[in-house]
Amino acid sequence: MNYNSAQQRVKGLKSFYKNCMWFTIVAGFILIRNFIKDNGTIHSFQGWFILTVWAIILGVKAVNLFIFDAEWENQILDEELNKSKKPINF
């Protein structure tokens, strides 16, 4: 991994962790607000749509950062290059 790709990965990780922190804060705020508003019952959860979409976006970012990283891309590229190499018969 070269310096530029490592720097991009660190920026991506920093952004991902910030988003996770904000998601936790907002979700906690919404859950506490709904719990107080509904007198201890959580039968009608307001804000579920926003949290669901946000969680899906965080999940996609996590997959891109931790599964499909630069090393994975280089490994697949090497495999494809090795497949297309044909032995030269003189």
The pLDDT tens digits of the residues spanning 8-58 come to 888 988 999 999 999 999 999 988 887 787 765 555 666 788 889 999 999
Question: 23 is written with which tokens?
Answer: 């998601």
Note the pTM of the prediction, 2 decimals: 0.68
Residue 66 belongs to some domain of the structure: yes
Q: At what angle do helices 3-37 and 48-66 cross, to 10 degrees?
A: 160
Q: Tell me which residue range forms the domain holding 19.
A: 12-83
Residue 3 belongs to some domain of the structure: no
Question: 41 is written with which tokens?
Answer: 């019952």
Averaged pLDDT for residues 62-84: 79
Q: Residue 90's pLDDT is what?
A: 66
Residue 7 belongs to some domain of the structure: no
Helix ranges restricted to H, 1-90 = 3-37, 48-66, 70-84
| CA-based R_g, the chain, Å | 22
Residue 4 belongs to some domain of the structure: no
Residue 37 belongs to some domain of the structure: yes
Question: 68 is written with which tokens?
Answer: 């499909």
Residue 2 belongs to some domain of the structure: no
Q: Residue 16's pLDDT is what?
A: 92
Count of domains in the chain? 1
Token pair 């044909």 is at which residue?
A: 86
